[in-house]
């Protein structure tokens, strides 16, 4: 026994394991589903995955925490690859204004929108923002999410942006959820720069990006590339600077109009481009060639009552990886549930169940630059899992956010599902 490898945890998902691993994916089995599977965990990582009958004798399971998961569907921990996690203040009233006919840009011009959140966030203390972040992450994990991309962008000054990224760093350190921090200083032009927006772009380039990079506060730089906010020229300048400082690139692109953001993402080989309701068809081949992930955000589409959806059929036909995210934010997507978002994405964008599952696992992992670490159940990957109390994984997508996981594991450890001590049973 001395030469055997000690296993910390062995999981036996009899109901079905969605590996999303190329080892198991075939034409007939696009999610790499394994029945009668076993997962062996050592430390933070997956050491072995395969059929229960094939567990090698070289593993020592005598001290392992062996978990029988009959009847459960086990899948990689979900990845919410686009959120505005850290902010203060409610903008619930805006939704009703939009229902009654006001547009996003009208609300923005009236001093609502992002500006209102910037003011409320500036007034909140570090601890208040941290506490909100902890609550939100727990809420998200309760819904199966183990990795959260989080954007700054409610500071809009060197100190303000730095503070938000520092809150994220503290959250990543203290909470079991994993945070991928993104610098989004170019979220909107703050009012004090209204007469001279170019000066704000200079501040982003000359002050904020160097500061963020120097302190290693972000992995990505994002820009809200849209008419009246940051045009293609300004966005290119910001993103090229960010790349020089070692940041990877994301773009809020072609959401409200065809503003050139999608083409810029392809040109700069951005890791991802987000929203994309107005992405021109002609840009899609360049997108695919650049390896850019299309991150679709159907909750914002719903809340903004857009009569247009992204060019899903073309993205699919041309092989662009499609990820799905909540876009959690207080204005256009005050929704913390990636599960609810998945149902909405299926119904409104006509994404298949398999596409939805890939959109919150392998493709979302790629959108946050961690496709070698998370998003699959494969040897060497992080032991991040969500376990749902259903045999038919389709129910995770069809029940509109109401099928919650019974257990969640992050980096080899069970996550205490704090906000709800008893799992909600699936009842559909």
Q: Which of 207, 348, 373, 411 binds its own copies (CB under 8 A)?
A: 348
Which range binds its own copies by CB under 8 A, 9-17, 57-65, 174-182, 419-427? 419-427
The residue assigned the tokens 């619930």 is 92
The answer to the question of residue 132 lying near its own copies (CB under 8 A) is: yes
> Of the candidates 83, 152, 353, 386, which one interacts with its own copies according to CB under 8 A?
353
Residue 304 CB, nearest approach to its own copies (Å) = 9
Q: How far apart are CA 262 and CA 306, in angstroms?
A: 18
Please identify which residue in 302, 316, 379, 414 interacts with its own copies, judged by CB under 8 A: 302
Q: Does position 193 bind its own copies by CB under 8 A?
A: no
194 binds its own copies (CB under 8 A): no
Q: Which of 335, 338, 368, 383 binds its own copies (CB under 8 A)?
A: 335
Paired tokens of 39: 């997962």
| Least Å from the CB of residue 218 to its own copies | 23
At 398 the three-state DSSP class reads helix
Q: Which of 71, 228, 291, 401 binds its own copies (CB under 8 A)?
A: 401
Question: 386 vs 399, which CB is nearer to its own copies?
Answer: 399
Q: How many chain residues are in contact with its own copies, going by CB under 8 A?
A: 48
Bridge partners (DSSP) listed for residue 80: 148
Interface residue with its own copies, options 42, 45, 119, 139 (CB under 8 A):
139
Binding residue (CB under 8 A) for its own copies from 53, 96, 195, 214: 96
71 binds its own copies (CB under 8 A): no
* CA trace torsion 290, 295, 296, 297 (10° rounding): -150
Which of 320, 397, 408, 415 binds its own copies (CB under 8 A)? It is 397
The dihedral through the CA atoms of 126, 127, 131, 137 has a sign that is positive
Is 61 among the residues that bind its own copies (CB under 8 A)?
no
- Stretch of 91-99, 188-196, 210-218, 228-236 contacting its own copies, by CB under 8 A: 91-99
At closest approach, how far in Å is the CB of 152 from its own copies? Answer: 18
Say if residues 241 and 205 touch (Cβ distance below 8 Å): yes
Single out the segment in contact with its own copies by CB under 8 A; choices: 4-12, 210-218, 348-356, 370-378: 348-356
Residue 179 vs 299, nearer CB to its own copies: 299
402 binds its own copies (CB under 8 A): yes
Cα of 388 vs its chain's centroid, Å: 20
402: number of Cβ within 10 Å: 15
Looking at residue 18, what DSSP letter applies?
Answer: E
Q: Is 260 left (phi over 0), alpha (psi -120 to 50) or beta?
A: left
Q: Is 126:163 a contact under the CB 8 Å cutoff? A: yes
By CB under 8 A, tell whether 347 contacts its own copies. yes
Question: Which residues have CB under 8 Å from 173's CB, separation 6+?
Answer: none
Q: Least distance from C-beta 68 to its own copies, angstroms?
A: 22
Sole binder of its own copies in the list 193, 245, 400, 414 (CB under 8 A): 400
Q: Distance between CA atoms of 331 and 342, rounded to whole angstroms?
A: 20
Rounded to 10°, the helix 158-174/114-123 angle is 70
Q: How far is the CB of 312 from its own copies (least distance, A)?
A: 11
Measured from the CB of residue 147, what is the shortest distance to its own copies in angstroms? 18
Considering only 26, 63, 92, 194, the residue that binds its own copies (CB under 8 A) is 92
| Three-state secondary-structure class, residue 103 | coil
Q: In whole angstroms, how far apart are CA 395 and each of 9, 279, 356, 400, 428?
A: 27, 31, 12, 9, 8
User: Contact between 315 and its own copies (CB under 8 A)?
Assistant: no
Tokens 């963020």 correspond to 212
**Which residues, 6+ apart, have CB-to-CB distance to 78 below 8 Å?**
143, 144, 145, 146, 147, 338, 339, 360, 361, 364, 386
- Give yes or no for residue 424 binding its own copies (CB under 8 A): yes
CA proximity to 375, closest of 393, 358, 362:
362
φ, ψ for residue 202, nearest 5 deg: -60, -40
Could you tell me if 104 and 256 are in contact, meaning their C-beta atoms sit under 8 angstroms apart? yes
Site for its own copies (CB under 8 A): which residue of 35, 110, 313, 418?
Answer: 418
CB of 88 to its own copies, least distance (A): 11
Q: Which residues bind its own copies (CB under 8 A)?
A: 90, 92-93, 95-96, 99-100, 132, 135-136, 139, 142, 299, 302-303, 305, 330, 334-337, 340, 344, 346-348, 350-353, 392, 394-395, 397-402, 418-422, 424-425, 427-428
């Amino acid at each position: 026994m001395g030469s055997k490898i000690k296993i910390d945890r062995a999981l036996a998902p009899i109901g079905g394991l969605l590996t999303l691993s190329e080892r198991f994916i075939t034409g007939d089995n696009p999610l790499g589903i394994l029945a009668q599977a076993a997962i062996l965990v050592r430390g933070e990582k997956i050491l072995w995955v395969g059929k229960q009958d094939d567990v090698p004798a070289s593993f020592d399971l005598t001290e392992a925490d062996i978990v029988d998961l009959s009847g459960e569907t086990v899948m990689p921990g979900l990845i919410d690859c686009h959120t505005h996690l850290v902010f203060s203040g409610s903008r619930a009233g805006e939704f009703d204004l939009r229902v009654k006919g006001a547009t996003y840009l009208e609300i923005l011009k009236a001093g609502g929108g992002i500006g209102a959140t910037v003011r409320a966030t500036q007034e909140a203390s570090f601890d208040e923002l941290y506490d909100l972040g902890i609550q939100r992450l727990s809420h998200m994990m309760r819904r199966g999410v183990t990795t959260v991309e989080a954007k700054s962008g409610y500071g809009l000054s060197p100190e303000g942006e730095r503070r938000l990224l520092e809150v994220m760093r503290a959250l990543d350190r203290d909470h079991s959820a994993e945070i991928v921090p993104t610098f989004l200083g170019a979220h909107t032009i703050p009012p004090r720069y209204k007469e001279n927006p170019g000066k704000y772009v200079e501040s982003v380039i000359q002050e904020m990006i160097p500061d963020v990079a120097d302190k290693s506060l972000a992995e990505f730089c994002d820009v809200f590339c849209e008419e009246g906010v940051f045009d293609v020229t300004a966005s290119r300048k910001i993103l090229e600077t960010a790349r020089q400082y070692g940041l990877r690139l994301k773009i809020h692109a072609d959401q409200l109009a065809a503003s050139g953001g999608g083409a810029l993402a392809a040109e700069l080989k951005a890791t991802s481009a987000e929203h994309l309701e107005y992405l021109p068809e002609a840009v899609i081949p360049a997108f695919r060639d650049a390896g850019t992930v299309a991150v679709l955000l159907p909750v914002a589409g719903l809340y903004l009552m857009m009569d247009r959806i992204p060019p899903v059929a073309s993205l699919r036909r041309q092989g662009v990886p499609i990820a799905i995210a909540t876009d959690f934010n207080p204005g256009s997507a005050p929704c913390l549930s990636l599960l609810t978002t998945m149902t909405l994405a299926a119904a409104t964008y006509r994404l298949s169940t398999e596409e939805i599952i890939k959109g919150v696992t392998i493709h979302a992992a790629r959108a946050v630059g961690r496709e070698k670490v998370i998003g699959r159940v494969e040897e060497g990957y992080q032991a991040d899992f969500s376990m749902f109390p259903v045999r038919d994984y389709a129910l995770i997508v069809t029940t509109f956010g109401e099928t919650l996981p019974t257990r969640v594991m992050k980096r080899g450890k069970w996550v205490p599902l704090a906000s709800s001590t008893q799992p909600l049973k699936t009842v559909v």
